[in-house]
């Protein structure tokens, strides 16, 4: 199985005709802890389902049916309820899992349209294996794209985690940033190679240390920051981990 859409399908139930999506959590106000918007006040909408299975994933409860009860973890939730759960005119980060698994559903359009109608700035966090369709590109201001390196391990179903070529067009329009998890300076070099090979603007490339504790992050931070500085790309810490550890809802 290349994705867990079958697992998500089991969650579908009668919702009175209201558009709904599998939602793990909606939370805020908090801060965006990573990438080009790090430090900004934000609200998060975390959707269920992912087509990858990173060994260090910090939200396996959104996709791993072997370890978690997905009916409980990512219940089908009316889009109106999700939209009402965030503050108007805020930065809203839609993440997962892999949120773009849902972009061809009417509920996805309803979610993005409803958030924009409330004056929200919409940011999508994605693994880069699914290119946004025209509807998504028209509604989302910023994409943060996180292709997975070898440090993420093998993925179920032999899914290829490589960045899809269609993303470069989005990046060149100024609406997409790479944000890649690294464990070493060698990983940073690999990210630079991806950017140069694809033509991704280096000013829109970010690397960050892997880890879910301050000790892990800080242990890798200097090497990664040094390598990023030498390569002329950006480095980002994980500020939410420093503030709240790996607690859900932050």
* Binding-site annotation: residue ranges for S-adenosyl-L-methionine: 56-58, 97, 146-148
Asked if 233 contacts 192 with a C-beta cutoff of 8 angstroms, the reply is yes
205: tokens are 């490339």
Asked if 32 contacts 93 with a C-beta cutoff of 8 angstroms, the reply is yes
List the end-to-end C-alpha distance of the chain, in Å, as a whole number.
31
Sequence ranges of the binding site: 31-33, 46, 50, 54, 56-59, 95, 97, 146-148
Helix, strand, or coil here: 73? Answer: helix
Sequence ranges of the binding site for [4Fe-4S] cluster: 50, 54, 57
User: Parallel, antiparallel, or unpaired for β 20-31 and 121-126?
Assistant: unpaired
Sequence ranges of the binding site for Mg(2+): 59
8-state DSSP, 185: H
What is d(CA 214, CA 218) in angstroms, rounded to the nearest whole number?
6
Sequence ranges of the binding site for substrate: 31-33, 46, 95
Peptide bond into 97 cis (omega under 30): yes
């Amino acid at each position: 199985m290349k994705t867990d859409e079958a697992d998500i399908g089991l969650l579908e139930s009668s919702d009175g005709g209201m558009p709904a999506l599998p939602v793990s959590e909606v939370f805020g106000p908090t801060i965006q802890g990573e990438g080009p918007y790090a430090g900004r006040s934000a609200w998060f909408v975390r959707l269920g389902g992912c087509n990858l299975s990173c060994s260090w994933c910090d939200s396996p409860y959104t996709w791993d049916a072997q370890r978690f009860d997905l009916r409980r973890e990512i219940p089908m939730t009316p889009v109106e309820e999700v939209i009402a759960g965030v503050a108007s005119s805020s930065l809203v980060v839609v993440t997962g899992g892999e949120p773009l698994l849902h972009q061809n559903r009417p509920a996805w359009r309803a979610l993005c349209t409803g958030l924009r109608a409330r004056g929200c700035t919409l940011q999508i966090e994605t693994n880069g294996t699914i290119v946004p369709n025209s509807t998504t590109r028209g509604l989302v201001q910023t994409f943060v794209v996180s292709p997975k390196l070898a440090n993420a391990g093998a993925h179920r179903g032999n899914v290829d985690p490589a960045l899809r070529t269609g993303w470069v067009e989005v990046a060149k329009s100024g609406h997409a940033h790479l944000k890649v998890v690294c464990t070493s300076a060698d990983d940073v070099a690999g990210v630079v190679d991806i950017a140069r090979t694809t033509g991704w603007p280096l000013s829109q490339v970010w690397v960050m240390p892997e880890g879910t504790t301050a000790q892990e992050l800080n242990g890798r931070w200097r090497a990664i920051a040094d390598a990023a500085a030498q390569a002329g790309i950006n480095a980002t810490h994980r500020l939410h981990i420093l503030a709240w550890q790996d607690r859900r809802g932050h």
